[in-house]
Structure 1
Amino acid sequence: MRILAAMMKHETNSFSPVKTDLARFEAWGLHLNEAVLDAYRGTNMPIAAYIELAERRGAELVTPVAAEAMPSGLVEREAYETLVEWILAPIEAGDIDAVFLDLHGAMTAEHLPDGEGHLLQRIREIAPDMPIAVTLDMHTNLTAAMVANCDVMIGYKSYPHTDMYDVGRQIAEVLWDKIEGRADPVMAWGPAPVLAQTLCMGSDDEPMKSLQEATRREEKATPILAATVFGGFPMVDVEHAGASVVTVADGDSAAAEACRDRLLSQVWSVHEDLVYEHRPVMAALKEAKERNVAPIVLLDHADNVGSGGTSDVMTVIKSVIDSGLQGVAVATVFDPEAAAQMHAGGEGAEITVDLGGKLAMPSLGLEGQPLRLTGKVLKVTDGRWIVRGPMYTGVEVNTGPTAVFETGGVKIVVTSVHHEPWDAGILSENGIDPLACRYILLKSRIHYRAGFAPLAKATYTLDGQGVTTSDNSILTYKNIRRPIYPLDPAESVEQA
């Protein structure tokens, strides 16, 4: 058999000013043909599971592309169509027997609100009977087109996403069972009228912990083959944004529908717990300063590049400096100009730099506000290192020319390529011992837990500025389905 395995992943934030062109994919991970196998075989990614199972069966692998970009603004039309054409070309040639796709589920292009659904429709138009398996992120905004145009699908159950390989393998086995005549998978799905916030979706926290435990219980019951609760991705203004459920059963549509309904009911029962409550930054910093433990993790979650943030908003960093905290490591500030200035000065150079604040955020009515700082360049690197932690294990990171800048009691990792700091390597590979820090300030939301939660003695969320805000009131939604909680009162949602 000839098996196509491909990856096309982007979490689109329609409020983000960060451009998503093909170079954006190249900066994080764009591999073609044999290079896909070299990059992802043996990693903790869904496509690695696809590769392993196909090779175990002696199938011939076709890997046209594996592409992923850090979350950012709408995917440019040319970039989207290029990626899609790379995937479609071997199918159009007529010599593919099954397709295994590693997708995100919240990709929106300039010309298409549902990037994944459109890709799957295109495949079905070419090969109506093609067996297709899809692995999706927990933050998928699920659509009817996605479900109707594949045979089986599943989403991650963990956030941070440490189970990517496991769920990829699970759903790949289901499709192989269909191909080899051992199963007849059928699916049921439905949306939940909740615009949940990603800060409330950590799988070690309630309510997502119980929701994901419920999916695992469902999967232990015959004939359920896979069950997924998607929290959705709220920072994109499309009709289908929000939570949802999809289930896969072996030949029993009624069982799939009943399982779906149970999970949807459970999602609605905790809708209030899926919305974050804010508090002043200085109040959180005061409390953190009084704690006699270390290291303490501080989260600048409104500027999280892992959800489309610019990663150069200096509001929270300024508050930390003004509060007098010492022994602070910051990861990361995206500022290629400042990184170049630090590389030019070299290690040990004393410089004054206007750090961050290079990108305006028109969707929030905010201009960029650099922070002028004087300090020392502690270290410069090429920004390349291998992830050793439990998320993206074995994948190479490239933050571009990178520097560590020290000002007062604060060490700031400055990068030339966007990166969410989910692995402690972002500090240790740049000469900072995380365990020697009093505070670790991360532009992250939940993924930081993969590498930093085992180290942290306490964690505080700091409600700053940025396009990954958890405050729905400052975002303008024009296209999202209504009514939906919390944009609309729960009573009106229930009545609808």
Structure 2
Amino acid sequence: MPFHVLTGSFVHESNTFKKGETTLQDFRDAVLDEGQVAIDRFGDVNDELAGFLDAGREAGWRITHTVSAHANPGAPVSRAAFDHIAAIICDAAAEQRATLDGILLSLHGSMVPAFCEDGEGELLARLREVVGPDLPVAVTLDLHAMVTPAMVERAQILVSYKTYPHVDMRETGRHAGRLLDAAMRGAVRPATLRAHRPMLDEANAGRTDVPETAALYARARAHEAEPGILAVSVNAGFSEADITEMGPTVLVTHDLGAETRAREIAEALADTIWDQRGHVFNDFLTPAAAAAEARDFDAAKGPLVIADYADNPGAGAYGDATALLDALLKAGATGGAFAPMIDPAAAAELHRHKVGETVTLDLGGKRDPAFGGGPMRLTGEIVHLSDGTYTGDGPILGGITHSFGPTAVFRVQGIDILVVTLNEQMLDLQQVRAFGIEPARLRFLVVKSMQHFRAAFEPIAGRVIVCDTGALATPQAHLRPYTRVRRPVWPLDRTGFAPSR
């Protein structure tokens, strides 16, 4: 008889400093697909589910897929949303319990529900109540997971991405699936251990284009070739989620008998993370400095790409900070684009008009003006209107269709501003090209993203610079009011640390 495996995906990266909650509607606006609908959408793209299916085909499993649920990073997940999605997975496990041989889940690792600090640990606890303590459970995690002791106690196998920008989702799913198959066959008896360091996150947030950080992942891959070492995961952490157990971790999933070597590997990698804690690679420009570069840039070899790092919706920032746009307009920078400005009210107002009309409105800065600037009163021309649908063609979103919701391109003083309704960071060139903005014709392009933009936008850029606009995801962590994290913690504290081991 083939092994019967239950699969599911429940992904959210929660910014605990963001106002409000992430609701069930937010999941519906992004991804909330059950069963075959999810398989049809994600079964042959760069997604963990595709990797699960790859592993299942190799081994001849019978797969029951429950749900693929993914909301864009944002405020803590509401209890109603968490309970609803968790119930889809747990109810299916209860219904199929008599025939289940294993469970394979795609999670994030930094989900914070409104009612607890550890969404993944809570989901796994509910599952264990259904299936008992021994059924093999394998989990994939984002590289920015904040892995808690509860998570490693409740899943025998954990495998995280090894790239940032994340381009190895399918590969990670396949890796976890193969380990689950070996566990179900009795070829291995896996367990996972965890090493943690008192930091908000790894110095470069896990960037695999930074040599020192990339070396951590190269070491992890090399260790996976050792006898008994099944998976080595280096998790950078997520500094925008304030929980007790936040910070970078190293996980080693190992076979029975390899625990001592696994502990050596985990602690050595964690020691390196700690030793490199002050080695920050990015040069963060002020809005005024970035705007001056944009005004004067020679785009003969491609546009200047400016990352609005601090207003990255992918880190739960609001995506409506105006500090950089204000600086660009004051500097007289022209021939550029700004993407996106997440402002549902402005998008709706623009959709009450027609292409070619001149409109005056308040744009951006409406969610929390203290982070990144308040609303700007602007007059401009509508040059494009759309329902916001696009299909990615790059390394991260290739073949996947998403929507910004009602979307407009609003031209103000020679800058095309992509005004959108739904929350999303810049990951793919189609997020601008689908709306008539061609990067090759620009002097500069602002993208609200920290790092993921590089996979698609860096190859077409003449140069890339990074700007700190003081928005919610600012690298100046002291501007956020941490109350839960265990102290001392780097870089909020510089003294008082015990030896790393």
Tell whether the structures are fold-level matches, with TM greater than 0.5: yes
Distance 1:302 1:42 in 2: 33
Query: 1:237 and 1:299, CA in 2 relative to 1: closer, same or farther beyond 3 A?
Result: same
Residue 424 of structure 1: aligned partner: 429
Please tell me whether the aligned partners of residues 4 and 102 of structure 2 are also in contact (alpha carbons under 8 angstroms). yes
Which residue is 2:467 aligned to?
462
Alpha-carbon spacing, 1:37–1:175, altered in 2? closer, same or farther (3 Å): same
Residues in 2 aligned to 1:185 and 1:274: alpha-carbon distance in whole angstroms: 35
Cα distance in structure 2, aligned partners of 1:248 and 1:451: 32
Q: CA deviation at 1:196?
A: 2.2
Q: CA deviation at 1:53?
A: 2.2
Mean Cα deviation higher: 284-293 or 65-74: 284-293
- Alignment partner of 1:116 is 2:120: yes
| 1:51 CA displacement | 2.0
What is the CA–CA distance in structure 1 between the aligned matches of 2:372 and 2:480, rounded to whole Å? Answer: 16
Tell me the secondary structure at the aligned position of residue 52 of structure 1. helix
CA distance in 2, matches of 1:201, 1:10: 18
* Structure-2 residue corresponding to 1:242: 247
CA RMSD of aligned residues (A): 1.9
Distance 1:474 1:27 in 2: 31
Letter aligned with residue 304 of structure 2: I
1:271-420 correspondence to structure 2 within 5 Å:
271-274=277-280, 278-293=284-299, 294-360=302-368, 365=370, 369-420=374-425
Alpha-carbon offset, residue 288 of structure 1: 4.7
What is the match of residue 449 of structure 2? 444
| TM-score between both structures, scaled by the size of structure 1 | 0.95
3-state SS in 2 of match to 1:238: coil
Relative to 1, partners in 2 of residues 1:231 and 1:333: Cα closer, same or farther, differing over 3 Å? same
Which of 19, 36, 49 aligns to 1:47? It is 49
**Counterpart among 215, 222, 231 of residue 217 in structure 1:** 222
* Aligned residue in 1 for 2:263: 257
Q: Which residue of 2 aligns with 1:163?
A: 168
Shift of 1:279: 4.5
> Is the contact made by 1:2 and 1:60 (CA closer than 8 Å) also made in structure 2?
yes
**Whole-angstrom distance in 1 between the partners of 2:457 and 2:282:** 22
Return the offset for 1:177: 1.1
Match of 2:183 in 1: 178
Contact 1:275 1:486 in 2 (8 A): no
- Separation (CA, whole Å) in 2 of partners of 1:191 and 1:201: 15
Rounded to whole Å, the distance in 2 between the matches of 1:9 and 1:495 is 31
- In the TM superposition, residue 66 of structure 1 has moved relative to its aligned partner by 0.6
Task: Provide the rounded CA distance (Å) in 1 between the counterparts of 2:108 and 2:334.
Answer: 39
Question: What letter matches 1:33 in structure 2?
Answer: G
SS at match of 1:135: strand
Equivalents in 1 of 2:293, 2:347: separation in Å?
32
Gaps of 5+ in 1: none
Report the Cα offset of residue 186 of structure 1.
Answer: 2.7
CA distance in 2, matches of 1:218, 1:67: 32
Q: Separation in 2 of the partners of 1:433 and 1:371?
A: 25
CA deviation string 1:252-307 (max 9, x = no partner):
11121111112111111211125866553323333454443431111111111100
Hey, what's the Cα distance between the residues in 1 that align with 2:371 and 2:198?
A: 30
1:104 aligned residue (105, 108, 112): 108
Question: Equivalent pairs: percent with the same residue?
Answer: 31
> 2:440 is matched with which residue?
435
1:33 paired with 2:35, answer yes
Distance between the aligned counterparts of 1:340 and 1:218, measured in 2?
53
Separation of aligned partners in 1, 2:500 and 2:64: 50
Contact (CA 8 Å) 1:484, 1:493: kept in 2 or not? no
2:129 aligned residue: 125
Deviations 1:134-162 (A, max 9, x none): 00001100101110101111111111110
Q: How many residues align?
A: 493
Displacement of 1:201 in angstroms is 2.9
How far the C-alpha of 1:183 sits from its partner, in A, is: 2.1
1:180-220 Cα offsets, whole Å, 9 max, x none, are 22222232211112212686432111432121111112112
Distance 2:195 2:203 in 1: 20
The counterpart of 1:230, out of the listed 203, 212, 235, is 235
CA contact (8 A) 2:360 2:380 kept: yes
Match of 1:5 in 2: 7
Structure 1: which amino acid aligns with 2:65? T
Single out whichever of 325-334 and 286-295 deviates more from structure 2: 286-295
Task: Give the Cα separation in 1 of the matches to 2:203 and 2:310.
Answer: 11
Pick aligned residue for 2:71 from 62, 65, 69: 69
Shift in alpha-carbon separation, 1:460–1:276, aligned structure 2, 3 A: closer
